[in-house]
Structure 1
Amino acid sequence: MLFSLLDKFFNRPLTDEAFAKKFMDSTRKAGFSENLNFEKNEFRIRHGDGSYFNLHNAFRDYQNADKAQKSAVLTGYVSTLLEAGRKTETVFDNVKAQLRPVIRNLAMLEEIRMEHARKNGDKQYDYVSQPLGRDCVILLAVDSPESTATLTNGPEAHWGVTMEEAVKISIENLRDTTNEAFGEIIPGLYAGEWADGYDTSRVLLPDVLQRVPVKGRPVFMVPSRDVLMVTGDKDEQGIRQKVELAF
């Protein structure tokens, strides 16, 4: 309260964190009762069982709006999040082009499972996925400019497609939106620079990895959900630096 009053008195610019708090407070007042967690580095809010709401557009429009219109702008974006969280039936043809694959660590999903058990007792929490290595899985997501809705239950039953078919479609969609965006961060070591929330999902596009100019075959590492690093299997220094950077 004190800092808020000081900001008004000194006319301080609204920070990312302050806007995120304002947005989440408004979302709570609108009746949203599920999880809300602000992820500062990505400037987005994780809500529900793993969906994301990106704040970039909301913050820009809020800042550019006249003082009298700021409340309406905020309310509009809050309504978008609330609508994304509702279990509404969607037509597959309308959502097909928005499908994207997302890679998640099993530990994160187990954290969600434990949180679900803590809140709901013995009620079972399950997710539909495809394995990727020993500690990661592929989940299905629906992408929009403001939010990413992770479909932990897989494709909706009335869509008439299997998880395998939906993931295949999502990978092709990702390929269609993937340009060349690997940057050399250390000689011989490259990192994805798409910054669109799907950097790590590009490991599902081997043709993209093959075009990275590394020594030998590309070897990738995903040290976090938003970081994809690639070097060559013939580049000992690159591999060593990749591991050091990951730690």
Structure 2
Amino acid sequence: MKIFILAFVSFFISSAFAESILNESAFAQRYVNAVITKTEVVSADIKGRLEIEMTYSGGGTSTAYLDNAYMNYLSDPKELDVIIDSYISALTKNTIDVKANMEKAHIVPVIKDTGYINHITELMSKNKEGEFPFFYEKLNDVLYILYAIDTPSSIKFMPKEDIASLGVEPTELRELSLSNLMNTVESLQIKGDPSTISMLVADGTYEASFLIYDALWSKENFPVKGDIVVYVPSRDIVIVTGSEDVESLETVREIVHNPDNHWPHPVSNIGFIRKADKWVKF
């Protein structure tokens, strides 16, 4: 089991190839060169760590945050051009897709941590745009629930204004978004051994979002030793074990903290234990 899961989630890069991997600055510059060449962007400036401010020919501006793009690149460096092209393509698709999908039925929950909240707040402060721009709820002291419009090309987090425009009360969001998620995901499976180490498998995007699906987290589904413990290193990786299973906990921690594992859409590297139908820091 230990060898299988390590092989399942590990990414290997040979030492020879690793020497040619772009650092963050070089990756950002590569993106800048490509976005000016391939779009209506007339200027693109690197303003911060993996932060690109773009100006369009029509005078509009936007900011691209390349954290996820760079993590995707580290996971598969040979696909550099494909990854950059996909993120550039999303620039033109996002606006069209979001407008077409701005409906209650497309609201989904997305799990983020305090690091993400603080990072975006800091960026907004630098740009003199104020506080964190999106509506969120606390799942616990570390994890937060953001709400987004799911489109074919992107996930757009929703500010309060978007939520209000759809006539949705904030108190309705969790139940509504979970219902939408259940309708969107074709299957939800538990892979591995639910009594020792298992993984939640859905659609490769919203696995972490199922932390809010209370009915799922029972000892009937996960007959582990002790209380249910989850690690959510990425939005598509949820690893489950038991609080009293010392060997399995060690295996899971090795997976999560393995420096060779580059999580493209990171959530948190700490564990969470199920207590009184709530997730608390383990």
Aligned length: 196
Task: Check the 8 A contact 2:208/2:236 in 1, yes or no.
Answer: yes
Q: Which of residues 77, 83, 98 is equivalent to 2:96?
A: 83
Q: Verify: 1:139 aligned to 2:139, yes or no.
A: no
Counterpart code for 2:237 = V
Q: Superposed, which structure 2 residues align to 1:23-62 within 5 Å?
A: 24-25=35-36, 26-27=38-39, 29=41, 31=56, 32-37=61-66, 39-40=69-70, 42=72
Q: Superposed, which structure 2 residues align to 1:68-217 within 5 Å?
A: 78-83=91-96, 95-120=103-128, 123-153=130-160, 155-176=162-183, 177=185, 179-184=187-192, 188-210=196-218, 211-212=221-222, 214-215=224-225, 217=227
Using the alignment, how far apart are the partners of 1:124 and 1:182 within structure 2?
38
Using the alignment, how far apart are the partners of 2:217 and 2:255 within structure 1?
19
| TM-superposed deviation, 1:169 | 0.3
| TM-superposed deviation, 1:199 | 1.3
Counterpart code for 1:39 = A
**TM-score for both structures, normalised by structure 1:** 0.64
| TM-superposed deviation, 1:104 | 0.7
Quote the sequence identity (%). 20
Task: Check the 8 A contact 1:23/1:78 in 2, yes or no.
Answer: no
Runs of at least 5 residues in structure 2 that lack an aligned partner in the other structure: 1-26, 43-55, 74-81, 258-282
Using the alignment, how far apart are the partners of 1:213 and 1:24 within structure 2?
50
Counterpart code for 1:29 = V
SS in 1 for 2:94: helix
Q: CA RMSD in A?
A: 3.5
Task: Check the 8 A contact 1:103/1:200 in 2, yes or no.
Answer: yes
Using the alignment, how far apart are the partners of 2:232 and 2:187 within structure 1?
19
| TM-superposed deviation, 1:28 | 5.6
| TM-superposed deviation, 1:234 | 4.2
| TM-superposed deviation, 1:125 | 3.9
Using the alignment, how far apart are the partners of 2:236 and 2:191 within structure 1?
15
Counterpart code for 2:41 = K
Using the alignment, how far apart are the partners of 1:191 and 1:24 within structure 2?
37
Using the alignment, how far apart are the partners of 2:193 and 2:159 within structure 1?
34
Task: Check the 8 A contact 2:113/2:143 in 1, yes or no.
Answer: yes
Who is 2:251 aligned against?
A: 241
Using the alignment, how far apart are the partners of 1:132 and 1:154 within structure 2?
22
1:141-197: CA deviation from partner (whole Å, max 9, x where unpaired): 111221111114375323222222022100122233262333228982122333532
Who is 2:264 aligned against?
A: none
Task: Check the 8 A contact 1:140/1:155 in 2, yes or no.
Answer: no
| TM-superposed deviation, 1:42 | 4.9
Runs of at least 5 residues in structure 1 that lack an aligned partner in the other structure: 1-16, 44-54, 60-73
Q: Verify: 1:231 aligned to 2:231, yes or no.
A: no
| TM-superposed deviation, 1:119 | 1.5
